[in-house]
Amino acid sequence: MIRYKLYQNMREGSKTLGKWYGRATMTGEVKLNALSQRIQRNCTAKKSDVLAVLTELVEVMTDELQAGHRVVLDGFGSFKVGMRTTPADSAKDFTPSKNVKSLHVLFQPELKKSADGTRMKTFLTGAQVGEYGQYEVDKTEPEP
């Protein structure tokens, strides 16, 4: 189940100041070793083989992304590089050293279409949402 915690928007000047939102909360993490063990249980590949392939996948994806390619993993999604830049007064004035502030990797999960034509991200098909167990938040209505 996807868990969430409630938080209140306290940003001054926001149109939604004081409103409450849900924010997805992670309840743990799974690392490469554990994933490899699970994959080994589900197929004929040994854990060491799975680890080798996944480790090499990271290296090859790094090379391809840095070469400016989109990396598409069928059934999984695609990765590409994005950048944050600051504006230049003219095209001539734009330089990477001055205007490119950061690079990041963008991930787009693969989409599936249901029988009714609705698009759904593969990883979220059938997901359920529920509030996170124990945490502190005051749900009482404020007095006018």
| Domain edges within the chain | 70-122
Half-sphere exposure of 105 (CA within 13 A, CB side): 15
Assessment of whether the complete model's pTM goes beyond 0.85: no
Residue 50: count other Cβ atoms within 10 Å of its Cβ: 19
Query: Where does the pLDDT of residue 89 fall: very low under 50, low under 70, confident under 90, or very high at 90 and above?
Result: very high
| 107-134 per-position pLDDT tens digit | 999 988 878 888 888 888 888 999 888 7
pLDDT for the residue 136: 76
- Nearest 5°: phi and psi at 51? -60, -45
Q: Are 119 and 111 in contact (CB under 8 A)?
A: yes
- Kindly state the tokens that stand for 58: 């990271």
Output the CA torsion sign for 46, 51, 54, 59.
negative
